Amino acid sequence: MVALTLRAMPALSAARILRPERPRLADAHAAVAGITHPLPAWDALAARAVIPRTWVATMDRAFTDGPAECVIDPNRPGDTEFRVRVRTVSGRALTAMYGAKKLLERFDALNTNFGREAACEELGPEITTENPCPHPESVAACVALAADPDGILRAEALAREVVRRLAPKHRLLAIPPVWRVASRDGLTARWNREPEILREFPVLPPENDVVRGMRAKIRAELPGLPPEALRAELTRRLWSVFEPERPENPYEPLVALWALGYCLHASSKHGLVLGCPAL
Same domain, 96 and 14: no
Same domain, 159 and 249: yes
Q: Do the domain assignments include residue 35?
A: no
At which of 79, 94, 129 does a domain end? 129
Residues 6+ apart with CB under 8 A from 31: 41, 44, 45, 47, 48, 50, 146
Same domain, 112 and 173: no
Mean pLDDT to the nearest integer, 237-244: 94
Q: What is residue 266's three-state secondary structure?
A: strand
pTM above 0.85, yes or no: no
At which of 79, 96, 129 does a domain end? 129
User: pLDDT tier at 194 (50, 70, 90 boundaries)?
Assistant: confident
Share of the chain above pLDDT 70, in %: 89
Question: Does the pLDDT value for residue 197 go beyond 60?
Answer: yes
CA distance 258 to 55: 23
Q: Do the domain assignments include residue 42?
A: no
User: pLDDT tier at 189 (50, 70, 90 boundaries)?
Assistant: low
Summarised one tens digit per residue, pLDDT across range 84-99 is: 899 887 778 999 888 8
pLDDT given for residue 81 in this prediction: 84
Same domain, 113 and 179: no
What is the Cα gyration radius of the chain? 19
Residue 190 corresponds to which amino acid? R
If 0-12 CB within 10 Å is exposed, 13-18 middle and 19+ buried, where does residue 178 land?
A: buried
CA dihedral defined by 233, 238, 244, 247, rounded to 10 degrees?
20
CA dihedral defined by 236, 237, 242, 246, rounded to 10 degrees?
60
Whole domain around residue 191: which residue ranges?
2-21+148-277
Bridge partner list, 94: 86
Same domain, 224 and 255: yes
Same domain, 218 and 249: yes
If 0-12 CB within 10 Å is exposed, 13-18 middle and 19+ buried, where does residue 117 land?
A: middle
Q: Do the domain assignments include residue 193?
A: yes
Q: Do the domain assignments include residue 231?
A: yes
At which of 95, 129, 163 does a domain end? 129
Question: Does the pLDDT value for residue 72 go beyond 60?
Answer: yes
Total domain count, the chain? 2
Sheet with 271-277: strands ordered across: 62-64, 178-182, 271-277, 263-268
Same domain, 154 and 187: yes
Q: Helix-strand-coil percent breakdown of the chain, rounded to 5? A: 50, 15, 35
CA distance 15 to 182: 18
Q: Would you say 6 and 252 are in contact if contact means Cβ atoms under 8 Å apart?
A: yes
Same domain, 72 and 161: no
Q: Do the domain assignments include residue 55?
A: no
Q: Do the domain assignments include residue 36?
A: no
Same domain, 155 and 121: no
**Residues recorded for the chain:** 279
Sheet with 67-72: strands ordered across: 67-72, 81-88, 93-99
Distance of CA 173 to the CA centre of its chain: 15
Same domain, 169 and 271: yes
Q: Which of 49, 48, 39 is CA-nearest to residue 138? A: 39
The distance between the two most distant Cα atoms of the chain, rounded to a whole number of Å, is 58
CA distance 127 to 65: 11
Same domain, 171 and 198: yes
Q: Do the domain assignments include residue 201?
A: yes
Q: Own/partner pairs for 13-16, CB < 8 Å, 24+ apart?
A: 13/222, 13/259, 14/222, 14/223, 14/224, 14/225, 16/258, 16/259, 16/260, 16/261
Q: Give the number of C-alpha atoms closer than 13 A to the C-alpha of residue 123, restricted to the C-beta side.
A: 28
Q: Do the domain assignments include residue 62?
A: no
Same domain, 175 and 249: yes
pLDDT given for residue 124 in this prediction: 79
